[in-house]
Amino acid sequence: MTNKKRIFSGIQPSGNLHIGNYLGAIANWIKLQDEFESIFCVVDLHAITVPQDPETLRKKTLEIAKIYLAAGIDPKKSAIFIQSQVSEHAELCWILNTIVKMSELEKMTQFKDKTQAGVSEGIGVGLFDYPVLMAADILLYGTEVVPVGEDQKQHVELARDLAKRFNHKFGETFIVPKAFIKEEGMRVMGLDDPTKKMSKSATSEYNYISLTDDAETVKRKIKKAVTDSGSEIVFSDDKPALKNLINIYASFSGKTPKEIEALYVGRGYGDFKTELAQVINNFLTPFQEKLAAITDEDALEILRAGAEKVRPLAKAKLAEVKKKVGFIS
């Protein structure tokens, strides 16, 4: 590997990947892969922290890898691999578990959201420990930059704290990583509720536009998307639903919100929504063609090669960690 700075990011193979995942995460990765030495992971160990079906997990794991590839991650430039194929992640997680505090994990908003106001009855310990595994993912590779959506900022903060704590206790070992969150597209909100982020675990399919939705579905979902009172197309904080739709339009078209407002002066929601669906489909249609052309075999081959490429890095860092904590090798 080269001496460029390293980035690491990952997505769980669960639920349907949506345009929020694309705009908030993957689209940024594509741009960063030229500048950084990039590692992109399919985080299947994270995906089993909630009840899951093994057959679906296998299918989704391959699907995420194919989505990375179809979106433009180039396996010649970046390593793409499956987390469970590099066992050092779980091992480092265990060691980090011994320096993280219960209270730090209890504060994590994603955990609080998933457990409905912190009620932990019936919740697996894996879900509680999720951010520590994420810290292990990041720290194992000497990652400097972690490109994620805004919702993951708190988890990256924890990785920073754990890196510093370990370094302080056992001597300089980990690079302290930084989150990289792009302004636009950083938080795509639900189409049915602009107060909550678009989510792959949403109960209604009208919450999100999946990366695999066909053109008709996109039109139908955009048509049903909630809007604010009034009829003008304006980008403002007191019109959160419209603001979200304009943001999506802007991200896929390359136009600024101001330019979009100007396009729709004197025109109503109807025109705006029809054209928004077109703008989204202009991206999705060619993307889905590429996705369909990637075979399971191709994806598996790339994933194996990716694991081969990153494993030596993970092994070296873990060996260093084990030595520092006093394990005999």
CA distances 174 to 94, 140, 158, 274, Å, are: 16, 8, 13, 50
Q: Is 9 in the site for ligand TRP (CB under 6 A)?
A: yes
Q: Is 82 in the site for ligand TRP (CB under 6 A)?
A: no
DSSP-derived 3-state class of residue 18: strand
* CB closer to ligand TRP out of 12 and 281: 12
Q: Is 12 in the site for ligand TRP (CB under 6 A)?
A: yes
Q: Which stretch binds ligand AMP (CB under 6 A): 18-26, 88-96, 113-121, 214-222?
A: 18-26
Minimum CB distance to ligand TRP, residue 267 (Å): 37
Q: Is 148 in the site for ligand TRP (CB under 6 A)?
A: yes
Residues with a known catalytic role: 114, 197, 200
Integer Cα distance of 239 and 220 in angstroms = 22
Window 36 to 75, contacts with ligand TRP (CB under 6 A): 43, 46
**DSSP string over 219-279:** HHHHHHS---SSSS----TT-HHHHHHHHHHHHHH---HHHHHHHTTT--HHHHHHHHHHH
DSSP 190: P
Q: Is 78 in the site for ligand TRP (CB under 6 A)?
A: no
Integer Cα distance of 258 and 24 in angstroms = 21
Binder among 8, 22, 128, 166 for ligand TRP (CB under 6 A): 8
Instruction: Give the distance between the most distant pair of CA atoms in the chain.
Output: 74
Window 168 to 207, contacts with ligand AMP (CB under 6 A): 186-188, 197-198, 200
Phi, psi for residue 97 in degrees, rounded to 5 = -55, -25
* CB closer to ligand TRP out of 134 and 276: 134
Minimum CB distance to ligand TRP, residue 104 (Å): 16
DSSP 197: B
* Interacting residue ranges for ligand TRP, rule: CB under 6 A: 8-12, 43, 46, 134, 137-138, 146, 148, 152, 155
